[in-house]
Amino acid sequence: MSETNKMKFGIKELIILILIASLVFFFLNYSWIGVRLCIGILLLYFIPFYIFLDSFNLAIEEKLIFSFFISIGLIPLIVYYISRLLVSVRLSILVSFLILIVGSFIFRKFYKGKKSLFV
């Protein structure tokens, strides 16, 4: 195994460790409310825009931090627009999440590596 591969494996382990530590922390301090919130934040406020930003030549830590701060601005906005059509906020959150995930994957698939305005 090369040095670089060892490094990558380490990062994955580290992320899992952080996730477990966070879940334990939230459970011990805020019970299942904390755990639900922790998972919800990860799913809604990190993953969709992380996948989207993964299309660009950015460092992992940049993608992680950028995705959260873009999300706190854009996720409620997307939920707002979708709720204009669907009315139910709960349903709008779910639909927003699905649209963002699918949209980000599609964008990444067709965009990644292509030279363009956004290089």
Partner 1 sequence: MEAARIESLQGIKGYPLEPNTYSSSKGLYISSRHKSSMKKSLVFEVLFLTILFLFSVYMWSLPIKNNPLPYGEVDSAHHFGIADYITEKDMIGEFYKPAFLYFLYSQRSILGGGKISTESPYPPNFFINEAIAQIIGGDRVASYYLFLAILCTSVILSSYFFIRKLFGVIPAFLSTLLIMASKIDILTFIMGQYVILVSFACLPLILYCYYKYINSFLTRKPKPIYLYIMAFFLATQYFNHFWSLVDTAVTLLIFTIFLIIKEKKFPFSIKHATIALVIFFVVLGPFIHKSVMSLQVEMFSGTAATDISDNWLGLFKWYTSGYAKIAVGQEIFSYKEMHGQWTLPLLIIGVLFLLLRRKREDLLLLSWLLALYIILHFDIFLGWGASRLFRSVNDVPYIFYPLTAIGFMGVLALIKVQFRIKKYIKYAFIAIFLVLFVNFNLKLSFEMLDKAYQYPLRINPSQYQAALWMKENIDENSIVYPQGTLIPKTKRFIRVVSHITNLEYDDDLELLRSLHPDLNISITHYFVDYSELIMFGMKKEMEALQQWEKTNFANISPIYDKNNIRIYDVRNK
Residues 64 and 19 sit within 8 Å (Cβ to Cβ)? no
3-state secondary structure at position 94: helix
Site string for partner 1, 30-49 (x = CB under 8 A): x-xxx-xx--xx--x-----
From residue 33, alpha-carbon distances to 28, 47, 117 in Å are 10, 20, 43
- Told to check if 1 binds partner 1 by CB under 8 A, we report no
Tokens of 90: 């709960």
Residue 53 identity (one-letter amino acid):
L
3-state secondary structure at position 2: coil
Residues 57 and 119 sit within 8 Å (Cβ to Cβ)? yes
Residue 56 identity (one-letter amino acid):
F
Q: Give me the least distance between CB of 61 and partner 1, in Å please.
A: 6
Site string for partner 1, 81-100 (x = CB under 8 A): --x---xxxx--x-------
Q: Give me the least distance between CB of 20 and partner 1, in Å please.
A: 11
Residues 57-86 that bind partner 1 (CB under 8 A): 57-61, 65-66, 68-70, 72-77, 79-80, 83
Contact set with partner 1 (CB under 8 A): 3, 6-8, 10-11, 14, 17-18, 21-22, 25, 29-30, 32-34, 36-37, 40-41, 44, 53, 56-61, 65-66, 68-70, 72-77, 79-80, 83, 87-90, 93, 117-119
